[in-house]
């Protein structure tokens, strides 16, 4: 299989759409529930902190410039221990892929077509994902490039149309949230917005053509994505009010339903739904692609393509059983997912980075073979 290369501009666009991903659907309600009208402050702090996380990811990626994240696991943590951590990481991406298919199904079912079973949406969406995974990341990056201008145009149109509905009393009083609720809402925001960015390390060092400008693109894409999310959160609070935002499942869709200009331009929310469907497509693809390619790399299979169809069938099945109802999904995403993702997306890269630094230092004065086993043992203690 030949190596696929994407340009740094495409990488920026993928980062932008990826970071918006699911966050656009579920973040406004979950963080407004915790910190009421100060949710946008929490989101702002979360975005600043995510820049630190990206710094960590980039430092890690630059240690192994020709390998992706799964290969780096095996190379640095050793064969046995690296495989275990990689499998843990793949379980995370696999479950997330199933969960995102569930989200797209439940979103279409509750808001657009109430009588169609969620299976139908999951199936159709998964066929697109499978096809994209079959064609590879070059094609996928080009499709992201096509979606990007449309996304930006619809977003600007959306913001302009909703502006007349703003009531500023909704956001007052400012800075009233307690420290605890602020901590929870920052944790929830970051766990969905910035922790999963580690999945992009599957693309970044190995298959990007100009690495320095891709580094810049990583930052720019995240900051732009963060700005979009902050604007959406602020608008939902300003237009719907904090209580109403918190009680909705998909506040940004409710926001789009409020658009009404001169009683003439209204009910255009389904055009707005393009924004979240396209960004969720990017995110689901990245999770699915990571799962398939990572599995092939762990098992040392040269071509990952034959695994796409069985894995797709598995993910469709998973999307039906992953959450029995929306309460289960809210509980999981608010309370368990931040901890679960923290372990595999922050602690694991940190561990790999520490082990790399120790190894580099030791290999300078000792022979490398003896230190290999030692560092793996040390890393288990960490």
Partner 1 sequence: MVLAVAILVMSVILVLIFIPKLKKQQDTKTIVVFTILLLIGTVLNMGIALRIHIPSPLDLITFIFTPIRDYIVSLTK
Which residues here bind partner 1, judged by CB under 8 A? 95, 99, 119, 180, 183-184, 295, 299-303, 306-307, 309-311, 313-314, 316-318, 320-324, 328, 331-332, 335-336, 339-340
Closest approach of partner 1 to the CB of residue 306, in Å: 5
Backbone angles phi, psi at 265, to 5 degrees: -90, 95
Which residue, 2 or 365, is less far from partner 1 as judged by CB?
Answer: 2
Cα separation of 317 and 332, whole Å? 19
Q: What string of DSSP letters covers 72-133?
A: HHHHHH-HHHHHHHHHHHHHHHHHHHHHHHHHHHHHIIIII-TTS-HHHHHHHHHHHHHHHH
Q: What string of DSSP letters covers 242-293?
A: HHHHHH-SSHHHHHHHT-EETTTEE--HHHHHHHHHHHHHHHHHHHHHHHHH
**Which among 304, 25, 30, 372 has a CA at the least distance from the CA of 186?**
30
**Which among 251, 264, 33 has a CA at the least distance from the CA of 164?**
264
Closest approach of partner 1 to the CB of residue 206, in Å: 22
Say which residues have a Cβ less than 8 Å from residue 122's Cβ, sequence separation at least 6: 101, 102, 104, 105, 316, 319, 320
Closest approach of partner 1 to the CB of residue 323, in Å: 6
Helix (H) or strand (E) holding 217: helix 211-240
Which residue, 258 or 305, is less far from partner 1 as judged by CB?
Answer: 305
Closest approach of partner 1 to the CB of residue 225, in Å: 26
Closest approach of partner 1 to the CB of residue 332, in Å: 6
Which residue, 100 or 311, is less far from partner 1 as judged by CB?
Answer: 311
Cα separation of 222 and 56, whole Å? 14
Which residue, 135 or 318, is less far from partner 1 as judged by CB?
Answer: 318
Cα separation of 175 and 39, whole Å? 9
Closest approach of partner 1 to the CB of residue 340, in Å: 6
Closest approach of partner 1 to the CB of residue 70, in Å: 15
Which residue, 62 or 331, is less far from partner 1 as judged by CB?
Answer: 331
Which residue, 303 or 365, is less far from partner 1 as judged by CB?
Answer: 303
Which residue, 39 or 316, is less far from partner 1 as judged by CB?
Answer: 316
């Amino acid at each position: 299989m030949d190596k696929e290369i994407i340009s740094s501009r495409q990488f920026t666009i993928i980062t932008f759409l990826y970071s918006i991903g699911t966050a656009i659907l579920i973040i406004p309600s979950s963080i407004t529930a915790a910190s009421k009208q100060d949710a946008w402050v929490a989101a702002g702090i979360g975005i600043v902190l995510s820049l630190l996380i990206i710094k960590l990811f980039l430092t890690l990626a630059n240690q192994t410039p020709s390998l992706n994240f799964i290969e780096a696991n095996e190379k640095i943590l050793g064969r046995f221990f690296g495989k275990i951590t990689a499998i843990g990481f793949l379980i995370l991406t696999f479950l997330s892929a199933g969960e995102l298919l569930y989200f797209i199904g439940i979103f279409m079912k509750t808001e657009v077509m109430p009588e169609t079973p969620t299976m139908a949406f999951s199936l159709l969406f998964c066929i697109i994902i499978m096809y994209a995974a079959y064609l590879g990341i070059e094609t996928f990056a080009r499709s992201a490039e096509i979606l990007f201008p449309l996304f930006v145009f619809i977003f600007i149109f959306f913001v302009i149309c909703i502006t007349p509905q703003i009531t500023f009393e909704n956001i007052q009083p400012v800075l009233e949230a307690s420290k605890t609720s602020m901590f929870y809402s920052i944790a929830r925001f970051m766990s969905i917005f910035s922790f999963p960015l580690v999945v992009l390390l599957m693309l970044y060092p190995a298959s990007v053509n100009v690495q320095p400008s891709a580094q810049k693109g990583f930052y720019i894409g995240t900051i732009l994505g963060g700005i979009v999310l902050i604007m959406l959160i602020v608008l939902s609070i300003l237009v719907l009010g904090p209580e109403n935002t918190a009680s909705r499942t998909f506040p940004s869709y409710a926001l789009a339903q409020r658009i009404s200009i001169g009683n003439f331009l209204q009910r255009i929310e389904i055009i707005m739904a393009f924004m979240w469907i396209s960004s969720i497509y990017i995110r689901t693809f990245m999770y699915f692609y990571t799962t398939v390619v990572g599995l092939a790399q762990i098992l040392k299979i040269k071509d990952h393509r034959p695994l796409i169809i069985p894995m797709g069938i598995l993910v469709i099945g998973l999307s039906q059983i992953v959450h029995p109802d929306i309460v289960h999904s809210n509980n999981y995403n608010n309370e368990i997912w931040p901890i679960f993702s923290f372990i595999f997306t922050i602690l694991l890269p940190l561990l790999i980075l520490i082990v790399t630094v120790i190894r580099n230092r030791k290999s300078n004065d000792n022979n490398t073979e003896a230190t290999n086993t030692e560092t793996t043992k040390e890393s288990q203690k960490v």
